[in-house]
């Protein structure tokens, strides 16, 4: 897996937003209605998330989907 993988960058974004709110992974998972180990794997870039779960993360973090993805707007995905 490349360091530039969208899953790794997305996971880092989720972790940063979660930490800004002062939430543990467990507290965040509870608020999202997801399992703590799932949140951990998202933050490590191990999950290829569904749109439903991305929406849950954004809603819990109090950001729009556009805001959640805003750091990636200028960098197009490269084909695998």
Q: Name the pTM for this structure.
A: 0.86
Question: What span, in angstroms and rounded, lies between the C-alpha atoms of 11 and 13?
Answer: 5
Residue 1: predicted pLDDT: 47
58-75 confidence digits (pLDDT tens): 999 999 999 999 988 775
Cα dihedral 67→68→72→77 (10° resolution): -130
Task: Assign 78 a pLDDT band (cuts: 50, 70, 90).
Answer: low
Question: What span, in angstroms and rounded, lies between the C-alpha atoms of 20 and 45?
Answer: 19
Tell me the domains of the chain and their CATH numbers: 6-65 (1.10.260.40)
Q: 79 or 16: which carries more pLDDT confidence?
A: 16
pLDDT at 3 over 70: no
The burial class, CB within 10 Å (0-12 / 13-18 / 19+), for 38 is: middle
pLDDT at 18 over 70: yes
């Amino acid at each position: 897996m490349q360091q530039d993988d969208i899953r790794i960058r997305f996971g880092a974004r989720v972790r940063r937003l979660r930490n800004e709110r002062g939430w543990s992974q467990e507290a965040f998972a509870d608020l999202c209605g997801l399992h703590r180990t799932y949140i951990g794997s998202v933050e490590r870039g191990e999950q290829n998330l569904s749109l439903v779960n991305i929406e849950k993360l954004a809603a819990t973090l109090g950001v729009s989907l556009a805001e959640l993805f805003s750091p990636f707007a200028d960098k197009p995905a490269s084909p695998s």
